[in-house]
Structure 1
Amino acid sequence: MPPTDSLLSLESTVCDLGRYHLQVEVGLSCAEIWPILNQYPKLPGVVLLRQGQWYGMIPRLPLMELMLRSHLEGNLKTLTLAIAHSYHPQMPLCMAAETPILTAAQQALRRSLPDQSAPIVVQESTGDYSLLDAHELNVAHWQLRGIEVQSRYERTQIHMIRHDKMANLGRLVDGVAHEILDPVGFIWGNLSHIADYTEQLLQVVAAYRQQGALLPEMGLDEEELDYLQQDLPKAIASTQTGAKRLKNLASSLQNFCHMDEVYPKPADLHEALDSLVLLVNSRLNGEVHLTRTYGHLPPLTCHIGQLNQVFITLLLQFVDELLSDVAHRSVAANLATALPSQAIAPPMPDISITTQVLSPSDRHQPTWTSREQDSFEAWIQATAHAQAIAPSAQRWISIQVSRNGAPWTAAQHQELANALASDRWHQPLALSHRMIAAHGGCLRWRSPHRDGVGAAFEVLLPLV
């Protein structure tokens, strides 16, 4: 049968292409096949069967040459397909109809040069055999290559537009934070002077009160004046606290939105983590406790903007999990008709950030999982080679983000592995993995984390 046109996609398989179905018994005479080949000039060959079972395949060109020579010699009627096959006994390329077109084309291109034009045998789902023209497969292959290039171009365009949008948003937020910092700086700078002036004025008022000459002129009684003297310093201190929080928040926002330079620069990871914690606090709503345990870390030469994005992704992952758990427990408590008096209250949801410098003896931790878990030692060797040092002398920085609560289920483990294995840019964890890998580091995780509960991420960055 002639090939049929169909719309192809990158997921198209061989069964989406036109195939030729001609299966005959090997005992058949070539003279009986001659009219069929003349009727279908595009038929690429003949599939041979013996008692309904696979026997072989003869391409059209060798078969036609053999039949023409036999016709000239006058023995075409005695020439059987079995004899014709003995002149061309090579094993053809066979594949299932569900084989992707791109895979089929790669297999076809691996054949020797004389066999490049030979048809491909396709085994149908019914068990029958059909033939796929090599030229038809090559045309489909180049069509899909064009689709793949176009798709990659469109993804690149979308990524560039998204990157440009985020860059513009970052510059906008950075500008807004700068505009906030200017007046806050004025307020913060003047509040200390106002506090000093207020203290001096209160001292003057206290001196006048000792003389008893000020009260009739001010129209204030003793209680009002005492309250004023006590509350005014508190109001100024409260204003200073609010201005300081606003200044820290604007500074954290400015640091987070700061665009990285072309080359990495030394950065303080603890300062970056503190800024991110300040931004994440708005999501905690007092329902999640966050603790920090910092070791002594030297400045790390890195793109701090990229690492900020990694850390905020890991923090928000655990914040969402704990807040979801809190919401489920709240609903369960509201639906419960009675709670046992001896029931133990669940622990306060907690996220912990721990930093430290790991020595070579700390690298063997089999409970951790990573995308590179099968080649973790190879990763250590590669990073040590990049630093031009021996693996035994290598050190790296560990930033561990962990939570308490229920451990991940098997489905969550698989979902996490799929997210990290994805090459799509819209996957936050996959993007985080790429950023860590670009720094020569590794992202690992485990659950349960401690005492059969919780979960943890660990970012390992080589210390140069």
Structure 2
Amino acid sequence: MSVLLQSTPDHLIPVESPPQHLSLDSTLEELALHECYVDISSQGAKVMQILNDNPLLPGVILTQNNHFVGVLSRRKILEHMSQIYSVELFSRRPIASLYHFAEREVFCYPSHTLIVMAARRSLQRPPDLLYEPILVEVAPEKYHLLDVHQLLIAQSHIHQLTTQLLHEQTRSQMMQTEKMSSLGRMVAGVAHEFRNPVNCINGNMGFLGNYVQDLLDLVEAYGAEHPDSEVITELKDELEFEFLKEDLQKILQTVRESAGRLTKIVGSLHGFSHMGDERYESANLEIHLENTLLILNNRLKGGITLKKNYGQIPEIYCSSGQLNQVFMNLIGNAIDAVEDVRQVGKEPIICLTTQQLDDNWVSIVIEDNGSGIPEEIQTRIFESFFTTKPAGKGTGLGLAISH
């Protein structure tokens, strides 16, 4: 249990300071700080008594007319008092005499300084100052003392927590990668099963169109040879032959387009089945963007305007599977963002822009006209499991995995 000492003209009042939960963003004000002001005219014996009564006190803050003068550490006081004749020399004299004899450079930091930053700077001090307490400015003209030992303990605790967090994030990333790999294998199997019947439909549509046209030509020729046949005339009227002939061509065209679309979807699924694959290969990024849009087409149907500003970019040697995952996450987030725009009567817009910047870099920009990311959380958007979406809608892994 740490002790906070507040000085009055006559005595010191111990105040218990509760333990704090530390994190990477913790600052000096979260540590146990010691407040002990002593007027520089006070006798050395009084200062020795203060240190004896409060063994956790790292030193005293010297003042003159309520203004800061300097710091005398416990280490330096005891070091000089333990020498021969020092007790007689300093105990009955003002502490100013000892201070001028043992004066050292003081390291002062604002209370909002990060613990990890203060610890690093503290360890960079000269060897003779390494164990001197640190002066913490908690308010203008108001100072507390921090024991450097407590600072290093806190820094060690933060390092341990950070290591543990990194381990958990790595484990989570590995689990997510394994999930995506398993999902990829399943999607690859489904895409393979779809591909055979789709290829069958595509391959036979040409023959089917030719056969239908041959049959129609035969019917026309038979009617031309027997124009007075009442049976043929009645049958044509009953079947609405002219409408049937026109509509049949439309149906065949619709089936062709649907089969072509199925082929594209199967190709996209096959590409996305390698999202967990880290193989590197030359890839056309615009094709991968189009495949992503095809997979997300069902979500894009609801009145979202999609603008494409594709520039001329070369093929890129990359992990296309991982980039597919990035495109899926970013465009999916853009769709979520513009859903709020529709609710206020604005037109939801998503814009994709590709551009070659120079010989070494290409740029892919995915923009939306949503409300944007609040400034106060922008530093956290790549944290695993951090999300502003309602429970069940967001996992907090999309941007983390993309990053």
Q: Which range, TM-score by smaller chain?
A: 0.7 to 0.9
User: Is structure 2 residue 7 aligned with structure 1 residue 6?
Assistant: no
Residue 234 of structure 1 corresponds to which residue in structure 2?
250
1:202 to 176, 195, 216: 216
User: Is structure 2 residue 167 aligned with structure 1 residue 167?
Assistant: no
Once the two structures are TM-superposed, the CA of residue 171 in structure 1 deviates from its matched residue by 2.7
CA RMSD of aligned residues (A): 3.7
Distance 1:73 1:308, change over 3 A: closer
Once the two structures are TM-superposed, the CA of residue 356 in structure 1 deviates from its matched residue by 5.7
Letter paired with 2:239: E
> C-alpha offsets along residues 400-459 of structure 1, whole Å, 9 cap, x if unaligned?
6667xx7x8xx84x7489748854355756765x5xxxxxxxxxxxxxxxxxxxxxxxxx
Once the two structures are TM-superposed, the CA of residue 187 in structure 1 deviates from its matched residue by 2.1
Residue 88 of structure 1 corresponds to which residue in structure 2?
102
Q: Which moved further from structure 2: 319-328 or 78-87?
A: 319-328
Q: Superposed, which structure 2 residues align to 1:94-173 within 5 Å?
A: 94-125=108-139, 127-173=141-187
User: Is structure 2 residue 264 aligned with structure 1 residue 248?
Assistant: yes
Residue 193 of structure 1 corresponds to which residue in structure 2?
207
Letter paired with 2:316: L
User: Is structure 2 residue 284 aligned with structure 1 residue 268?
Assistant: yes
Q: 1:124 is paired with a residue of what secondary structure?
A: strand
Once the two structures are TM-superposed, the CA of residue 85 in structure 1 deviates from its matched residue by 0.6
- Counterparts of 2:265 and 2:146, CA distance in 1: 66
Q: Percent identity, aligned pairs only?
A: 29
Q: Which runs of 5+ in 2 are unaligned?
A: 5-16, 385-395
Once the two structures are TM-superposed, the CA of residue 152 in structure 1 deviates from its matched residue by 1.3
Once the two structures are TM-superposed, the CA of residue 148 in structure 1 deviates from its matched residue by 1.1
Are the counterparts in 1 of residues 90 and 98 from structure 2 also a CA contact under 8 Å?
Answer: no
Residue 383 of structure 2 corresponds to which residue in structure 1?
424
- Counterparts of 1:416 and 1:252, CA distance in 2: 36
Once the two structures are TM-superposed, the CA of residue 25 in structure 1 deviates from its matched residue by 0.9
Letter paired with 1:32: K
- Counterparts of 2:379 and 2:154, CA distance in 1: 32
Distance 1:147 1:277, change over 3 A: closer
Once the two structures are TM-superposed, the CA of residue 202 in structure 1 deviates from its matched residue by 3.0
User: Is structure 2 residue 239 aligned with structure 1 residue 224?
Assistant: yes
Q: Which runs of 5+ in 1 are unaligned?
A: 331-347, 361-393, 435-464
Distance 1:248 1:72, change over 3 A: closer
Residue 392 of structure 2 corresponds to which residue in structure 1?
none
- Counterparts of 1:22 and 1:109, CA distance in 2: 24
Are the counterparts in 2 of residues 215 and 221 from structure 1 also a CA contact under 8 Å?
Answer: no
Letter paired with 2:119: A
Q: Superposed, which structure 2 residues align to 1:449-464 within 5 Å?
A: none
Once the two structures are TM-superposed, the CA of residue 150 in structure 1 deviates from its matched residue by 0.8
Q: Which moved further from structure 2: 298-307 or 205-214?
A: 205-214
> C-alpha offsets along residues 359-383 of structure 1, whole Å, 9 cap, x if unaligned?
x6xxxxxxxxxxxxxxxxxxxxxxx
Distance 1:64 1:357, change over 3 A: closer
> C-alpha offsets along residues 79-126 of structure 1, whole Å, 9 cap, x if unaligned?
321000111111222223333322221221111112111122233348
Letter paired with 2:3: P
Distance 1:45 1:396, change over 3 A: closer
1:57 to 41, 58, 71: 71
Distance 1:231 1:21, change over 3 A: closer
TM-score, length-scaled by structure 2: 0.77
Q: 1:12 is paired with a residue of what secondary structure?
A: coil
Once the two structures are TM-superposed, the CA of residue 142 in structure 1 deviates from its matched residue by 0.8
Once the two structures are TM-superposed, the CA of residue 279 in structure 1 deviates from its matched residue by 2.9
Once the two structures are TM-superposed, the CA of residue 137 in structure 1 deviates from its matched residue by 1.6
Distance 1:281 1:422, change over 3 A: closer
Once the two structures are TM-superposed, the CA of residue 262 in structure 1 deviates from its matched residue by 4.2
Residue 320 of structure 2 corresponds to which residue in structure 1?
304
Q: Which moved further from structure 2: 216-225 or 133-142?
A: 216-225
Q: Which moved further from structure 2: 274-283 or 24-33?
A: 274-283
Letter paired with 2:255: T
Q: Superposed, which structure 2 residues align to 1:430-445 within 5 Å?
A: 434=403
Are the counterparts in 1 of residues 275 and 324 from structure 2 also a CA contact under 8 Å?
Answer: no
Are the counterparts in 2 of residues 297 and 356 from structure 1 also a CA contact under 8 Å?
Answer: yes
- Counterparts of 1:299 and 1:138, CA distance in 2: 51
Q: Which moved further from structure 2: 182-191 or 219-228?
A: 219-228
Are the counterparts in 2 of residues 419 and 427 from structure 1 also a CA contact under 8 Å?
Answer: no
Once the two structures are TM-superposed, the CA of residue 146 in structure 1 deviates from its matched residue by 0.7
Once the two structures are TM-superposed, the CA of residue 185 in structure 1 deviates from its matched residue by 1.6
Letter paired with 2:235: L
User: Is structure 2 residue 29 aligned with structure 1 residue 15?
Assistant: yes
Q: Which moved further from structure 2: 183-192 or 151-160?
A: 183-192
Distance 1:142 1:296, change over 3 A: closer
- Counterparts of 2:209 and 2:271, CA distance in 1: 30
